A and B are shown apart, each in its own frame.
Chain A
Amino acid sequence: MEAEDYAAGCCFSLMCQEDGADLLGDGFADEDGGKLLLMYSAGDDNDGEEDEEGYMDHLVSKESSFYSADPSPSMASEDWFQCARRDTVRWILETRGHFGFCHRTAYVAIAYFDRFSLRRCVDRSVMPWAARLLAIACVSLAAKMDECQAPALSEFRADDDYDFSCDSIRRMEVLVLSTLDWRMGAVTPFDYLPCLSSRLRRFNGAGRGGGGGLIAVKAAALIFSAAEVASVLDYRPSTVAAVAVLAATHGVLTREPLESKINSLSPTCLLEKEDVYACYTMMLRDPSSPSKTAKRPASDRSDGDSTYARLDAASFSVAAAMNNNKRVRLELPAVHR
């Protein structure tokens, strides 16, 4: 089966209409003759490659602080949460398309959502609107971090099922910022794509052509389809990126060729084979099939856990409920614990 089928089969048709310009760092192509390089070079011509590798090493060393080795709280394994999460991820991806954000911005927003969900329980009683409010805050924050121009909060109100006040969104932003401890930097699989793609080109001896861009677009679709299925904190971003690039290039591989290709693609990343295979399997799973339970075993929820605050109906006062059938106006006061 060809990789195209996977890319086409995933739910983001808008992916395929794009040129993936933000994926290979082409947006960064600069007049100074550099490429995605922020560090200067001392003169010789190999510096581009060396910088890229140095940058990749930096990312790998940094990513461990963003992916979670802790077991997910039980919320993640409950069906209603899985549902709400999938809806949220889809909404984030649609919103990315709507505003024309980079792929990375959407991924960062999803990562904020997943990190938030690790630290706070969003009560079922406030679903689905609390998830939407959270999603808006995550996208807004991700855009503020990564986009040149972040939309005004009011722009998130248009064309939607809910009507959140700007103040509610702002308060949710603050809640996300403090819940994530203001650690808003993130390493994503998209940060690895330019480097992995050029490694692949060197490795396969392929010309620059359109192939790299196409692979990157496919890889992006696969990365998002994986993000839809499970928390983006479950796998290292470097693993996700490497797996996505291989899956986009080769389609379905059995385990052994997969491992050998991974090793040649990513010699400096310490990729765990079990992780790679699990990630690969998850990524190429038919997204329409019923979701399996979360990768990690659920632990019993303890409501008194001091690090795990709850968001429930009492935290949100629904001030002017039900303007019409669908639109709910929400006020979010400071959240108590």
Chain B
Amino acid sequence: MGDGRGGGSNRPAWLQQYELVGKIGEGTYGLVFLARLKPTHPQAAGRRGSPIAIKKFKQSKEGDGVSPTAIREIMLLREINHENVVKLVNVHINHADMSLYLAFDYAEHDLYEVIRHHREKLNLSINQYTVKSLLWQLLNGLNYLHSNWIIHRDLKPSNILVMGEGEEHGIIKIADFGLARIYQAPLKPLSDNGVVVTIWYRAPELLLGAKHYTSAVDMWAVGCIFAELLTLKPLFQGVEAKATPNPFQLDQLDKIFKVLGHPTVEKWPTLANLPCWQNDQQHIQGHKYENTGLHTIVHLPQKGPAFDLLSRMLEYDPRKRITAAQALEHEYFRMDPLPGRNALVPSQPGEKIVAYPVRPVDTSTDFEGTTSLQPTQPPSGNGPPGGQPVPRQIPRQMQQPMGGMQRMPPGANMGAFGAAPQAGMVGMNPGNIPMQRGAGGQSHPHQLRRKADQGMQMQNPGYPQQKRRF
């Protein structure tokens, strides 16, 4: 039993509870698979055939033991419980090789694909309602994380999932906590993790060598994503200098300064203390940047609330940058069209509903990550929302967004699923401890003392005046 095998197959018993559809993502951390719960799965009651994303961590070297990234990510996911944040459904251990598998509810879309679909297929901007709803939900999830002293550190479109058709259609889930940190942990430079993180969403203070992350770095990324939702193009597409462990990224800073103008010590007093600002004077401080104007890039009226919100997110000084809680209260979200729960389906009659493509699935790969010559499964019956056929190739080249960055596993938040005991998994989970949402997720009754006046809500999504919408 303890070797993680069972029942006439080489697969661990827990794995046999899932019906593999195929591989949907790959990165430095490992692989992500799409699977469905078989009816025999103890958690399958009422959820038969529910799609599940299974993230398999790359086996760590025996001499290293369990990977620190996996421990931190799972620890964080175990404490998180919010509609706009992925929810971990299960942790499985394959004792044969000590590999770790995380099971999440599956999300069909992500912002990277949504934006790409508009840019490359539709050649049409995303409608105002969808942009605003996506942004509002993103801020809502982020506000929850920040209130719990969790900084994501790697927000970008491909890490922001959107649920496909079903009960949670059009709901955003913030994913990929591989780099996220909780307050106590010492914060190490991103490069230490051996993970390539795209620099396009990285805040200027980090590019200038600030050693300590604040939640303001996430808000900068949200600003970049907001602009990208509006224009369908990354706002600051710098070329990463990869050779150096130095955080200083000249090209990325150059891209930012060209749009936002030169930062000054008057506007950003602690600028002078940043290591790279001092060390690399000849590169940046010698340069004169003309402020080309953010408004001309995002095509927003300079006096409108959308532009005001965006420029507060892209404030240079992290201490002056708008917080998630403040942003949720911004005038932009009180104006028509109001944000709603299903970001993909506008409630305005006459608005066209966009049929986003489903995630490509490589059906030729098995759970071990080995590629078989013949696909073991036909493509899933998981048609695109609009009934439009989406061509699939088998096997299909996996999408590698953002210069080789990984796609993150989808996840979701379907309550009953997380609390069920894993009756079928005795021996797989040494402690055989059912994963339960416990005190960790609900033990923050006092934390919002200081932020209570900012309209924080922990669980209720609290869409502004949503009665008018639904």
Interface residues of A in 101-158 (CB under 8 A from B): 102, 104, 119-120, 140-141, 144-148, 150, 152-154
A239 CB to closest chain B CB, in angstroms? 16
Query: What does the 1/0 interface line of B207-243 toward A look like (CB < 8 Å)?
Result: 0011111111000000000000000000000000000
Query: What does the 1/0 interface line of B443-470 toward A look like (CB < 8 Å)?
Result: 1111101110000000000000000000
Given A174-B98, A182-B78, A40–B318 Cβ distance below 8 Å?
yes
Judging by beta carbons under 8 Å apart, are B63 and A153 in contact? Answer: yes
Given A182-B74, A183-B75, A334–B95 Cβ distance below 8 Å?
yes
Question: Which A residues contact B (CB, under 8 angstroms)?
Answer: 27-28, 30-34, 37-43, 47, 50, 53-55, 57-58, 60-62, 64-65, 102, 104, 119-120, 140-141, 144-148, 150, 152-154, 166-167, 169-171, 173-175, 177-185, 191, 309, 333-337
B62 CB to closest chain A CB, in angstroms? 5
Chain A CB within 8 A of B182 CB: yes
Interface residues of B in 266-280 (CB under 8 A from A): 270, 273-275
B143 CB to closest chain A CB, in angstroms? 12
Query: What does the 1/0 interface line of B70-112 toward A look like (CB < 8 Å)?
Result: 0110111011000000000001010100100000000000000
Residue pairs across A and B with Cβ atoms less than 8 A apart, 9 shown, are A37-B214, A40-B321, A58-B183, A148-B188, A153-B65, A170-B65, A174-B95, A177-B71, A179-B433
B91 — nearest CB in chain A belongs to which residue?
A182
Judging by beta carbons under 8 Å apart, are A31 and B270 in contact? Answer: yes
A79 CB to closest chain B CB, in angstroms? 27
Judging by beta carbons under 8 Å apart, are A183 and B79 in contact? Answer: yes
Judging by beta carbons under 8 Å apart, are A65 and B319 in contact? Answer: no
Query: What does the 1/0 interface line of B356-371 toward A look like (CB < 8 Å)?
Result: 0000000000000000
B4 — nearest CB in chain A belongs to which residue?
A334
- Find the residue from A53, A58, A169, A337 having the highest chain B CB count within 10 A: A58
Q: Bound state CA distance, A41 and B315, in angstroms?
A: 13
B396 CB to closest chain A CB, in angstroms? 34
Judging by beta carbons under 8 Å apart, are B79 and A185 in contact? Answer: yes
Chain A CB within 8 A of B439 CB: yes
Contact of B215 among A38, A50, A102 (CB under 8 A): A38
Chain A CB within 8 A of B293 CB: no
Judging by beta carbons under 8 Å apart, are A65 and B440 in contact? Answer: yes
B residues in contact with A146, CB < 8 Å: 184-186
Q: Bound state CA distance, A335 and B426, in angstroms?
A: 11
Judging by beta carbons under 8 Å apart, are A31 and B323 in contact? Answer: no
Given A40-B215, A153-B64, A336-B1, A144–B450 Cβ distance below 8 Å?
no
B13 CB to closest chain A CB, in angstroms? 13
Q: Bound state CA distance, A55 and B79, in angstroms?
A: 17
- Find the residue from B65, B209, B215 having the highest chain A CB count within 10 A: B65
Judging by beta carbons under 8 Å apart, are A40 and B183 in contact? Answer: no
A39 CB to closest chain B CB, in angstroms? 5
Q: Bound state CA distance, A37 and B447, in angstroms?
A: 15
Question: Which B residues contact A (CB, under 8 angstroms)?
Answer: 1-4, 62-66, 68, 71-72, 74-76, 78-79, 91, 93, 95, 98, 146, 148-149, 151, 182-188, 192, 205, 209-216, 270, 273-275, 318-321, 323, 326, 427, 429-433, 435-436, 438-440, 443-447, 449-451
Judging by beta carbons under 8 Å apart, are A64 and B431 in contact? Answer: no
Given A43-B320, A145-B75, A55–B183 Cβ distance below 8 Å?
yes
Given A33-B273, A34-B212, A65–B64 Cβ distance below 8 Å?
no
Judging by beta carbons under 8 Å apart, are B72 and A336 in contact? Answer: no
Judging by beta carbons under 8 Å apart, are B79 and A179 in contact? Answer: no
Judging by beta carbons under 8 Å apart, are A65 and B74 in contact? Answer: no
B435 — nearest CB in chain A belongs to which residue?
A181
Shortest Cβ-Cβ A-B pairs, 6 listed:
A334-B2, A65-B439, A178-B431, A144-B68, A179-B431, A40-B216
Q: Bound state CA distance, A27 and B184, in angstroms?
A: 12
B residues in contact with A184, CB < 8 Å: 71-72, 74-75
Q: A40-B318, A191-B184 are in contact. List 18 more A-B contacts (CB 8 A).
A: A31-B211, A31-B275, A37-B214, A38-B187, A54-B450, A54-B451, A65-B438, A145-B72, A153-B65, A171-B98, A175-B430, A178-B93, A178-B433, A184-B74, A185-B75, A185-B182, A185-B184, A335-B2
Q: Bound state CA distance, A54 and B91, in angstroms?
A: 32
Judging by beta carbons under 8 Å apart, are A166 and B429 in contact? Answer: no
Judging by beta carbons under 8 Å apart, are B430 and A30 in contact? Answer: no
B210 — nearest CB in chain A belongs to which residue?
A32
B residues in contact with A334, CB < 8 Å: 1-4, 95, 427, 430
A residues in contact with B68, CB < 8 Å: 144-145, 150
Given A28-B212, A119-B431, A336-B1, A174–B72 Cβ distance below 8 Å?
no
A108 CB to closest chain B CB, in angstroms? 9
Q: Bound state CA distance, A171 and B440, in angstroms?
A: 26
Judging by beta carbons under 8 Å apart, are B66 and A177 in contact? Answer: yes
Judging by beta carbons under 8 Å apart, are A32 and B149 in contact? Answer: no
Q: Bound state CA distance, A317 and B432, in angstroms?
A: 21
Q: Bound state CA distance, A277 and B192, in angstroms?
A: 44
Q: Bound state CA distance, A58 and B438, in angstroms?
A: 17
B14 CB to closest chain A CB, in angstroms? 13
Q: Bound state CA distance, A153 and B98, in angstroms?
A: 15
B residues in contact with A27, CB < 8 Å: 186
Q: Bound state CA distance, A261 and B216, in angstroms?
A: 37
- Find the residue from A34, A41, A120, A182 having the highest chain B CB count within 10 A: A182
Q: Bound state CA distance, A148 and B189, in angstroms?
A: 9
A residues in contact with B211, CB < 8 Å: 30-31
Judging by beta carbons under 8 Å apart, are A182 and B75 in contact? Answer: yes
A residues in contact with B447, CB < 8 Å: 54, 57-58, 61-62
